[in-house]
A and B are shown apart, each in its own frame.
Chain A
Amino acid sequence: MLSFHRNTYFHAMHQYSSLKSVQSEIKEGKIQLVELVEGYLQRIEEKKHLNAFVEVYADEAKLRAAEIQKKIINGNAGKLAGMILGIKDLICYKDHNISAGSKILENYNSIFSSTVVERILAEDAIIIGRQNCDEFAMGGSNENSYFGPVKNDADNTKVPGGSSGGSAVAVQADLCMASLGTDTGGSVRQPAAFCGVVGLKPTYGRVSRHGIIAYASSFDQVGPITKSVEDAALLLEVIAGHDDHDSTCSTAPVPAYSQQLSFTGKKRIAYLPETLNSDGLDPEIKAITENTIKRLIEEGHEVEPISFPYLDYVVPTYYILTMAESSSNLARYDGVHYGYRSQNAVDLESTYKKSRSEGFGDEVKRRILLGTFVLSAGHYDAFYGKAQKVRRLIREKTDEILENHDFILLPTTPGPAFGIGEKTDDPVVMYLADIFTVQASLAGIPAISLPVAISKSNLPLGIQFIGKRFGEAELLAFSKYVLNVTKKEVV
């Protein structure tokens, strides 16, 4: 799949397979970390047309590589030493610009680092740049970025998915080894599926949101996008855990996920017939889901259909709640204290109106308007209040299924990556594409998208497993096993 040019990078590095081998090759003097970084930088340059990165930190990545190389040789390097990472343009990194894919924060520089950035840096990761995404994480195609759309490396006419589109493509196209994205309603899992990589959304509260630009606070979670389940486990192990800055972050101890990946035994797995019978499910995706079910049964697991009666409600419920929260979360971008201020403003009111009208893109405005509407005095009960109740039902039903089953299996997306511009005319069509990812988001439980197949038209296809609350260790171990038993196959 990968075709590297013959250059120093090629000599220095074989195709990235595991961090462990990178670390031992550095230790043995077979490769230089700085050269590895240079290789990735060159690759980013070659793949510039993908528009995956908003900004590349070339010089500081090389400087850091030299330091970390020494640490690896001295044997005092952190867990992520040698890992070259990209971060979504929604994750604050001290003294670096962060824009959330928006004009309103075009030249905004963060004075602090998010907890996840501090934690990966403390374990000697190298951050090579910030990655393009939908504006304020609102979108499922990466077409809503102020910095332009991102292209899928499998087919440049297709979207990479979103909102963490740049992050998924960067891993897909070997522009970095792994990325940190954020997932509110599928923004890690869906682009991972479209780009043929692994994408994990942890349990709500597993990873600190401190320093993550908020879209919908009761949903947002940082998640790794990786080539392998092993890297996802390792990254989660580093970024997860209690953080005093985030009151919604759990104090539950963090298992050594990367050490608990061996899987044995038989599992009970539920699949939701409603998802397989849903309108507009791509036949190839239906087939790979059914094939996975078949393979798992052959392997001796119990896989049974369990009815999930709320499937029609997950998308409206998700959008009402996230739009409501985002209308409030985005109120701070008002042109007064920081960020874009309209040159045409003459007083306070016009500062608000013009800065926000000129600074936000259409999709963001649409969600702010709808969110404001569903929270307004005459409509609160009918929309926001009702959606809160439905969210509780969805959560309870999902928890109930997971009381009797270890995992829920369902497609990640209704179809493979669609064409750029194909769905931009109808936001509702775009929203409905989130149908399989928002259930885990509403329930606040972990879910992973696994690249199990390539479509006839050469597009990656994913399936999704939902795990129990804080059951990431089991979910990851099982995911690794599933990738082994399914192998990649053309449908």
Chain B
Amino acid sequence: MKTEQKTLSQEVFEKYELVVGLEIHAQLSTATKIFSSDSAAFGAAPNHHISLVSLGLPGSLPKLNKKVVTFAIKMGLATNCTINRVNRFDRKNYFYADLPKGYQITQDEMPICQRGYVAITLKDGSERKIRLNRIHMEEDAGKSIHDRDQRSSLIDLNRAGVPLIEIVSEPDIRSAEEAAAYLSEVRKLVRYLDICDGNMEEGSLRCDANISVRLKGDTEYGSRCEVKNLNSIRNLQRAVNYEFKRQVQLIEEGIKIEQNTLNFDAATGVTSVLRSKEMAYDYRYFPEPDLPPLTLSEELIQQIKDELPELPEQRVKRYRESFALSEYDAQLLTSDKAVSDYFQEVVNHTSNYKAAANFINGPVQSYLNENPAENIKMKLPAESVALIISLVDDGKINNTAVTQQLFPALVKNPGVDVLDMVQELNLLIDTDSDGLLKYIDQAVSMYPDKVTEYHKGKKGVLGLFMGEVMKLSKGKIDPKTANKLIVEKLDLLK
């Protein structure tokens, strides 16, 4: 909502507490839609993944995709929820052009999962538990496209019926940082569970935030605004911060907060009213008569529990205990499932866990930061990483050469053999000590003053000679041997 943001003093803001609850929609990565056998894949030509059910043709009936149930239970178990043995679908009635049946099939009164929590770690290392109210299953609507045609809106029903789970938190979030940490934890979980690709840009993960403020110590919540369609973690933080300031400012001016539905404009960073409370829909929920109540057997739930993959929290623990990695290394390695899985494969081929962790958290992570869409496994197989680590361990190549030359060359030329690339780049360490001695002589004769300084006790100049030798040899020396020989040479000159 556009209000001039005056600068209130920090003390004024500190009187208030932010209260946020998130509703996260995760599009499930099932092959087919929730109530039909139409493909649920993203990116097809408009209206190519449709049939009578997606179109809501007269006489068509929904048929529940069991996989969706399994995925929802997985998320419920991963977030410590109670799985409701009997749950039910309801109809949410409203008219919109991309909702062909005139209602959305969702779960209102009896969702599949209830209660539960997600643990988050904040920057200062503190931990918090954000409680969940529920997780329910529902179908996505189609897409209305308003900017392609001058006179009409165009409708694409590929997305109509794509399965969603909605993860609804309690209003337990107290800062933008917590909101971001919670959303990113949920994203991490859906990726580890392999139930959603977590892509916020493509809309496979969507977030609405219910935001209110109250004076610290108050037990009642303030009236809340729902901000819709936050399409990145950063925008969630921006919207939360913006709303906190806006709402505090209004209250300070004696103005009541209206319980509106808001839109966040990522370009301006400002919220605006989408629907006022008076315009709120009456969805006329009632039990979906086309689907009998869903009864879940203990066996099914147990089976899903047994097949649950290792979750990030468990992985961190294992990396620390089995691989003796630091908390920092372990956290960094598990922050992304694809990276963590890659690390997992690498350590299947090497026992130098620390070197593997350094390799992944070093060159690999920086490469992925710059090329987030790349599949590192395709560029550089895990076996190759293990081979590189053993080459370093055996003193055949040095780490600097790996980071600066070998790794970039390998990812640029996927499929080229590691040893061939080492040959081509001429990175093998010169074991010929005559050659090495020649470089050392050269380096020493270039800096006679530094030799004197060394003899006067300034041991730090060793690094300079080392660097020079490295440069002259084009990195093809074993640093340990070189260091030893430089010291010997300098001592000899004394």
Chain A residues at the B interface, C-beta cutoff of 8 Å: 92, 98, 100, 105, 108, 110-112, 114, 209-214, 216-218, 244-248, 324-325, 327-328, 330-334, 336-338, 348, 352, 372, 375-377, 380, 384
A-B contacts, 20 of them at CB < 8 A, read A108-B58, A112-B57, A209-B61, A211-B60, A214-B58, A214-B59, A214-B290, A217-B290, A246-B61, A247-B63, A247-B292, A324-B286, A327-B93, A328-B102, A328-B284, A331-B101, A332-B58, A332-B101, A375-B285, A384-B286
Chain B residues at the A interface, C-beta cutoff of 8 Å: 52, 55-64, 91, 93, 95, 97, 100-103, 153, 155, 282, 284-286, 289-292
The winner among A218, A327, A328 for most chain B CB atoms within 10 A is A328
Interface of B is mostly: loop
User: Shortest Cβ distance from A340 into chain B, in angstroms?
Assistant: 13
A331 touches B290 (CB 8 A): no
Q: Give the residue of B52, B100, B101, B284 whose beta carbon is less than 8 angstroms from that of A112.
A: B52
The winner among B52, B59, B62, B289 for most chain A CB atoms within 10 A is B59
**A210 and B61 alpha carbons, distance in the complex (Å):** 6
Additional A-B contacts beyond A214-B290, A338-B55, A384-B286 (20; CB < 8 A): A92-B58, A92-B59, A108-B58, A110-B58, A210-B59, A210-B60, A217-B289, A245-B63, A246-B63, A247-B290, A324-B286, A328-B93, A328-B102, A330-B102, A331-B93, A331-B102, A332-B58, A333-B58, A337-B56, A375-B285
A-B contacts at CB below 8 angstroms, number: 97
On whether A211 and B59 interact (CB within 8 A), knowing A336-B155, A384-B286, the answer reads yes
**A372 and B95 alpha carbons, distance in the complex (Å):** 13
| Chain B residue at minimal CB-CB distance from A99 | B58
| Chain B residue at minimal CB-CB distance from A209 | B61
| Chain B residue at minimal CB-CB distance from A216 | B289
Interface of A is mostly: loop
In the complex, the 7 A-B pairs of residues with the closest C-beta atoms, listed nearest first: A331-B102, A217-B289, A375-B284, A218-B289, A211-B59, A92-B59, A213-B58
Residues of A within 8 A of B97 (CB): 336, 348
User: Shortest Cβ distance from A59 into chain B, in angstroms?
Assistant: 25
**A247 and B56 alpha carbons, distance in the complex (Å):** 16
User: Shortest Cβ distance from A32 into chain B, in angstroms?
Assistant: 35
**A110 and B52 alpha carbons, distance in the complex (Å):** 10
Residues of B within 8 A of A338 (CB): 55, 57
Residues of B within 8 A of A213 (CB): 58-59
Residues of B within 8 A of A372 (CB): 284
**A3 and B60 alpha carbons, distance in the complex (Å):** 42
User: Shortest Cβ distance from A184 into chain B, in angstroms?
Assistant: 12
Residues of B within 8 A of A380 (CB): 284, 286
Residues of A within 8 A of B64 (CB): 247
Q: Give the residue of A212, A327, A330, A348 whose beta carbon is less than 8 angstroms from that of B59.
A: A212
The winner among A105, A327, A332 for most chain B CB atoms within 10 A is A332
**A110 and B59 alpha carbons, distance in the complex (Å):** 9
| Chain A residue at minimal CB-CB distance from B290 | A217
A334 touches B95 (CB 8 A): yes
The winner among A111, A114, A334 for most chain B CB atoms within 10 A is A334
On whether A328 and B58 interact (CB within 8 A), knowing A336-B155, A337-B100, A377-B282, the answer reads no
Residues of B within 8 A of A111 (CB): 52, 57
B59 touches A325 (CB 8 A): no
Residues of B within 8 A of A210 (CB): 59-61
A328 touches B91 (CB 8 A): yes
Residues of A within 8 A of B56 (CB): 332, 337
Residues of A within 8 A of B59 (CB): 92, 98, 110, 112, 114, 210-214
On whether A247 and B61 interact (CB within 8 A), knowing A217-B289, A352-B95, the answer reads yes
**A114 and B52 alpha carbons, distance in the complex (Å):** 12
User: Shortest Cβ distance from A212 into chain B, in angstroms?
Assistant: 6
**A352 and B289 alpha carbons, distance in the complex (Å):** 24
Residues of B within 8 A of A112 (CB): 52, 57, 59
**A372 and B91 alpha carbons, distance in the complex (Å):** 13
The winner among B91, B101, B103, B289 for most chain A CB atoms within 10 A is B289
**A380 and B93 alpha carbons, distance in the complex (Å):** 14
The winner among A108, A110, A325, A337 for most chain B CB atoms within 10 A is A337
B55 touches A337 (CB 8 A): yes
Q: Give the residue of B58, B61, B101, B103 whose beta carbon is less than 8 angstroms from that of A100.
A: B58
**A211 and B59 alpha carbons, distance in the complex (Å):** 4
| Chain B residue at minimal CB-CB distance from A220 | B289
User: Shortest Cβ distance from A343 into chain B, in angstroms?
Assistant: 15
B103 touches A98 (CB 8 A): no
Residues of A within 8 A of B292 (CB): 247-248
Residues of A within 8 A of B55 (CB): 337-338
User: Shortest Cβ distance from A366 into chain B, in angstroms?
Assistant: 17
**A217 and B58 alpha carbons, distance in the complex (Å):** 12
| Chain B residue at minimal CB-CB distance from A91 | B59
Residues of A within 8 A of B286 (CB): 324-325, 328, 375, 380, 384
User: Shortest Cβ distance from B203 into chain A, in angstroms?
Assistant: 22
User: Shortest Cβ distance from A31 into chain B, in angstroms?
Assistant: 35
Residues of A within 8 A of B60 (CB): 210-211
A332 touches B61 (CB 8 A): no
Residues of B within 8 A of A330 (CB): 102
User: Shortest Cβ distance from A209 into chain B, in angstroms?
Assistant: 6
**A330 and B95 alpha carbons, distance in the complex (Å):** 11
Residues of B within 8 A of A245 (CB): 61, 63
Residues of B within 8 A of A100 (CB): 58
**A244 and B64 alpha carbons, distance in the complex (Å):** 10
B63 touches A244 (CB 8 A): yes
Residues of B within 8 A of A108 (CB): 58
User: Shortest Cβ distance from B109 into chain A, in angstroms?
Assistant: 11
**A114 and B59 alpha carbons, distance in the complex (Å):** 8
**A372 and B103 alpha carbons, distance in the complex (Å):** 13
Residues of A within 8 A of B100 (CB): 332, 336-337
User: Shortest Cβ distance from A294 into chain B, in angstroms?
Assistant: 41
Q: Give the residue of A325, A327, A332 whose beta carbon is less than 8 angstroms from that of B289.
A: A325
**A214 and B288 alpha carbons, distance in the complex (Å):** 13
**A212 and B57 alpha carbons, distance in the complex (Å):** 11
**A98 and B58 alpha carbons, distance in the complex (Å):** 9
Residues of A within 8 A of B63 (CB): 244-247
**A213 and B102 alpha carbons, distance in the complex (Å):** 15
